[in-house]
Amino acid sequence: MGEMRYPLKKKAVVLLSGGLDSTTALAIAKEHGFQPYALSFRYGQRHGVELQFAARVAAAMCVVEHLIVDIDLRCFGGSALTDDIPVPKDRDADEMGAGIPLTYVPARNTIFLSFALARAETLGASDIFIGVNALDYSGYPDCRPEYVAAYENMASLATRAAVEGHRRLKIHTPLMTLTKSEIICRGTALGVDYALTSSCYDPAEDGRPCRRCDSCRLRAKGFSEAGIADPLLARFGMAAS
């Protein structure tokens, strides 16, 4: 018998868009002691610059691996994030809260989680982190807790591990019930540099946020409520408003 080795850290696949939420989820995965394998997607999003943000976040936060998967969701259409539908701007909280936004991408989280599941299976990992949030994105069907629970149940039947009796797959949603300001406070306490993150649905080519889309407005409100200046604005020489 060889000597007992201290167990290696468990691997986790972390879905990383380069935004504020997924970056915070990555920080929490690390805090929980996981070795993070980051996964991003080039899916035809108009805000493709977010992948540059994702790459900088991945490097700054020392992930084990950062895979960018090419998939083309434009062929399906149906979203302001992938089509020539204008991104809604200057909407107030009531307007944002009414129904499913135009920026909803059909089945996007289902597709993203499915690739995460494939990566987890090939890594022998049974943990996936996703930064979904049921409060700010209440209009997105695939951000709801009941959806995530059903996905986890399906995923636990889907893979080799399911048949061979290994540990059940766990989808971690550490931001599910947090407000945006709580997410920002949590991440700040963990040392996240939010200047590296992009939230805008319609940024300039250099990543400069539009400050008028739903996502920019939710971000601004979150930083304001947290009493923290958004370092992304300083990076682009923009006033905190």
* Interface residue with a second copy, options 78, 190, 195, 208 (CB under 8 A): 78
**Contact region for a second copy (CB under 8 A) — 3-11, 134-142, 208-216, 232-240?**
134-142
- Could you tell me how many residues of this chain bind a second copy (CB under 8 A)? 44
Minimum CB distance to a second copy smaller for 122 or for 177: 122
Three-state DSSP state, 107: coil
54, 198 in Cβ contact below 8 A? no
**Interaction of residue 218 with a second copy, rule CB under 8 A:** no
Q: Verify binding: residue 159, a second copy, rule CB under 8 A.
A: yes
Distance (Å, whole) CA 137 – CA 98: 11
Tokens read off for 71: 């998939």
Nearer to a second copy, 17 or 79 (CB): 79
Looking up tokens 């893979």 gives 159
The CB-of-193 to a second copy minimum distance in angstroms stands at: 28
Are 105 and 121 in contact by the 8 Å Cβ rule? The answer is no
Q: In this chain, which of 146, 206, 227, 239 binds a second copy, going by CB under 8 A?
A: 146
Report whether 82 contacts 108 (CB < 8 A): no
CB 151 within 8 A of CB 110: yes
**Contact characters 88-127, a second copy, x per CB under 8 A:** ------------x---x-xxxxxx-xxx-xxx-xx-----
For position 193 contacting a second copy by CB under 8 A, the verdict is: no
15 strand-pairing partners? 39
Q: Does 55 bind a second copy (CB under 8 A)?
A: no
C-alpha count within 13 angstroms, C-beta hemisphere, residue 133:
20
Q: Which residue has the tokens 């691997």?
A: 11
Mark residue 144 as left, alpha or beta (left: phi above 0; alpha: psi -120 to 50; beta: remaining). Answer: beta
Shortest gap between Cβ of 137 and a second copy (angstroms)? 12
Summarize as ranges the residues that interact with a second copy (CB under 8 A): 67, 69-73, 75-78, 100, 104, 106-111, 113-115, 117-119, 121-122, 139, 141-142, 144, 146-147, 150-151, 153-155, 157-160, 162-164
